[in-house]
A and B are shown apart, each in its own frame.
Chain A
């Protein structure tokens, strides 16, 4: 049973345009969410996070939106750059639990020049 779902295995975007990566979760206990980026042959690196007390968090070109009622979050990258091409993992934690993040299966983003 997948508690964190990234339903789009891949996404292709033109350089300069917006990339929107989506993530859905089923466990209502999740209250902290993270996005990681992974390049081939490297480990994932932390990108941005959001607590359930917020509905938006912004860091430069990256913005994460959280819709708690829909159990949905999205990562927006504006403008997209070729260097953003990577696999993006959504992860969720429950502060009342073990804090161990549950990861989605990832979305491979390709940004074309």
Chain B
């Protein structure tokens, strides 16, 4: 079966612009989580959506937002981009997002802000 698909793979934006990233989860998976990975910082949790509702939120400013559609596809948006937003953005899907439920990651979107 198809894995988690993230588009685009690479993106270059200018400070102050906004960006939208897309994630298509594995078929049947209803939980989608977003992470930011920067060098030396590991994976920092942004938010998680389940059945079109934001169920959990990490400690990121309001410039970072997301949504999930009825087909479980998810988008995240970053407004007023800053240089520090340059990172690999990873999406992970799982059936329920519950404990012991393995999460599958996409290849990520590499965002560069110049």
A binds B: yes
Residue of A nearest to B38 (CB): A105
With A43-B90, A43-B106, A46-B103 already in contact, the answer to whether A105 and B40 are too (CB < 8 A) is yes
With A44-B90, A98-B56 already in contact, the answer to whether A104 and B98 are too (CB < 8 A) is no
Q: Digit string of B39-50 for contact with A (CB within 8 Å is 1, else 0)? A: 011111100100
Contacts of B98 in A (CB 8 A): 99
Which listed residue, A99, A102, A106, touches B97 by the CB 8 Å rule?
A99
Interface residues of A in 29-63 (CB under 8 A from B): 32, 36, 41-46, 49, 51
Report if B51 contacts A (CB, 8 A).
no
Would you call A45 and B105 a contact (CB within 8 A)? yes
Q: How far is the CB of A60 from chain B (nearest CB, A)?
A: 16
> Could you tell me the distance between the alpha carbons of A57 and B98 in the complex, rounded to whole angstroms?
20
> Could you tell me the distance between the alpha carbons of A101 and B41 in the complex, rounded to whole angstroms?
15
Which listed residue, A93, A104, A105, touches B99 by the CB 8 Å rule?
A93
Which listed residue, B48, B97, B101, B105, touches A44 by the CB 8 Å rule?
B105
Q: How far is the CB of B45 from chain A (nearest CB, A)?
A: 6
Report if A89 contacts B (CB, 8 A).
yes
With A46-B103, A99-B99 already in contact, the answer to whether A105 and B33 are too (CB < 8 A) is no
Would you call A105 and B42 a contact (CB within 8 A)? yes
Would you call B99 and A42 a contact (CB within 8 A)? no
Contacts of A93 in B (CB 8 A): 99
Q: How far is the CB of A78 from chain B (nearest CB, A)?
A: 23
A residues near B (Cβ < 8 Å) are: 4, 6, 9, 32, 36, 41-46, 49, 51, 89, 91, 93, 95, 98-106
- What would be 10 A-B contacts, judged by CB atoms less than 8 Å apart? A43-B90, A43-B104, A43-B105, A44-B43, A91-B43, A95-B99, A101-B103, A103-B35, A103-B43, A103-B45
- Contacts A42-B107, A101-B103, A105-B41 known; 6 new A-B pairs at CB < 8 A: A4-B42, A43-B106, A46-B104, A99-B99, A100-B33, A103-B43
